[in-house]
Amino acid sequence: MTETIQDVFNEMSKGNRAALGRAITIIESRHKKDKLGRLHLLECCSDTSSETFRIGITGAPGVGKSSLIELIGLELVQQGHRVAVLAIDPSSTSTGGSILGDKTRMTELSKNASAFIRPSPSSGLLGGVSAMTRETIMLCEAAGYDRILIETVGVGQSETSVSGMVDQVVFATMTGAGDGLQGIKRGILEVVDLVAINKVDGNNVEPSKQFSTALKGALSVLHGGQSRPEIFLTSTVSDLGVGDLMSGITRWIDESKSSGQFTARRANQLGHWFEDALVYGMDRHLKNSPELAQKYENLKVSVARGDLHPVLAAEDLIKHLQ
């Protein structure tokens, strides 16, 4: 008997991790044949609880994001939560992804019955990857995971795109990464909610404290004198400060819920999701019709040559979408 989409959904809702894996594969597929299944799955998810929390952990390659997630995830499980870890790796198309590294950094968590770890989707453009990630988050929540941890390498636009789909952004960094403060992009400092300066061990202890003071100063300037976001000094090797970071995360979650920020952010993100889905859908519609795709290419050439105004070209194409 062949498995229907409803069967897959029912199984994953009962806690079957393999079924959740199959559902995510359908969601990640951009094949025409999977489109109905994908939409059906999204429909099934729509009436599930919102008692969930999504945490994004972003930072330069190798600062210790996965190692921190291992400890944060285990602590959350200890508190009785079910934890899903997703990775967005914009470089994975060229390098084959760093999930091998991730799995070896999350050995305990990956063995835990209350945790689910999903590697980054291996294909697609960044916009596509984030669309899939939003849908994957929904599936994980429908499957009963109430804490979602999303690891993303802070390159390109990935950290700003992750901030559009999580409730809290944790920025992981370390002293000596890049060229100190100058090496940190302003974009990330604008969206970050908590900072973890990691690898505060061995010879790094003193430089980390100096780095923390400098970063605090820079954040204060950026946020008009406020002493936020909070900065934590951590070492996943010596376990230093990870408990404090965990308390900071929990405190922040409670505050964002009681202040209404949580609800406001989610509402805003749903609006953006709709806009993105619309643009993505129109783009697919265009590219899937040979005549429209040809018209699109011709218009692009005319615009680039200066023969046609970009707005008029867009209007011309929109006429054909109706």
Ligand X SMILES: Nc1nc2c(ncn2[C@@H]2O[C@H](COP(=O)(O)OP(=O)(O)OP(=O)(O)O)[C@@H](O)[C@H]2O)c(=O)[nH]1
Q: What is the rounded CA–CA span in Å between residue 149 and residue 151?
A: 7
Note whether 66 binds ligand X by CB under 6 A. yes
Quick one: which segment of 64-72, 206-214, 283-291, 298-306 binds ligand X (CB under 6 A)? 64-72
Binding-site ranges for Mg ion (CB under 5 A)? 65-66, 102
Note whether 65 binds ligand X by CB under 6 A. yes
Q: Is 37 exposed, middle or buried (0-12, 13-18, 19+ CB in 10 A)?
A: middle
Q: Which of 92, 168, 208, 236 binds ligand X (CB under 6 A)?
A: 236
* Of residues 102 and 193, the one with the C-beta less far from Mg ion: 102
Q: How many CB atoms lie within 10 A of CB 214?
A: 13
Note whether 64 binds ligand X by CB under 6 A. yes
User: What residues contact 72, with CB distance under 8 A and at least 6 apart?
Assistant: 55, 57, 149, 242, 245, 246, 249
26 in Cβ contact with 37 (< 8 Å): yes
Quick one: which segment of 8-16, 178-186, 230-238, 276-284 binds ligand X (CB under 6 A)? 230-238
Taking the complex as a whole, the smallest distance from the CB of residue 102 to Mg ion amounts, in Å, to: 5
Task: Give the one entry of ligand X, Mg ion, none that residue 135 binds, where binding means its C-beta sits below a cut-off of 5 to 8 angstroms depending on kind.
Answer: none
Residues 189-208 within binding reach of ligand X (CB under 6 A): 198-199, 201
The DSSP line for 252-274 is HHHHHHHHTHHHHHHHHHHHHHH
Quick one: which segment of 38-46, 61-69, 205-213, 280-288 binds ligand X (CB under 6 A)? 61-69
For helices 65-78 and 242-259, the axis angle rounded to 10 degrees is 70
Quick one: which segment of 124-132, 159-167, 231-239, 309-317 binds ligand X (CB under 6 A)? 231-239
* Of residues 63 and 117, the one with the C-beta less far from ligand X: 63
Strands (E), the chain: 53-59, 83-88, 115-118, 147-153, 168-174, 194-198, 230-233
Q: Which of 63, 76, 77, 245 binds ligand X (CB under 6 A)?
A: 63
* Of residues 62 and 281, the one with the C-beta less far from ligand X: 62
Chain position whose Cβ is nearest to Mg ion: 66
How many amino acids of this chain bind ligand X (CB under 6 A)?
19
Taking the complex as a whole, the smallest distance from the CB of residue 55 to Mg ion amounts, in Å, to: 15
167 in Cβ contact with 134 (< 8 Å): no
Taking the complex as a whole, the smallest distance from the CB of residue 202 to ligand X amounts, in Å, to: 6
Q: Which of 88, 137, 153, 194 binds ligand X (CB under 6 A)?
A: 153
Length of the chain: 322
* Of residues 121 and 144, the one with the C-beta less far from Mg ion: 121
Q: What is the rounded CA–CA span in Å between residue 52 and residue 22?
A: 22
Chain position whose Cβ is nearest to ligand X: 64
Q: How many CB atoms lie within 10 A of CB 52?
A: 20
Taking the complex as a whole, the smallest distance from the CB of residue 236 to ligand X amounts, in Å, to: 4
Note whether 178 binds ligand X by CB under 6 A. no
Q: What is the rounded CA–CA span in Å between residue 283 and residue 270?
A: 20
3-state secondary structure of 296: helix
- Chain centroid to CA 266: 14
Q: What is the rounded CA–CA span in Å between residue 80 and residue 74?
A: 10
Taking the complex as a whole, the smallest distance from the CB of residue 107 to ligand X amounts, in Å, to: 11
Q: Which residues bind ligand X (CB under 6 A)?
A: 59, 61-67, 98, 101-102, 105, 153, 198-199, 201, 235-237
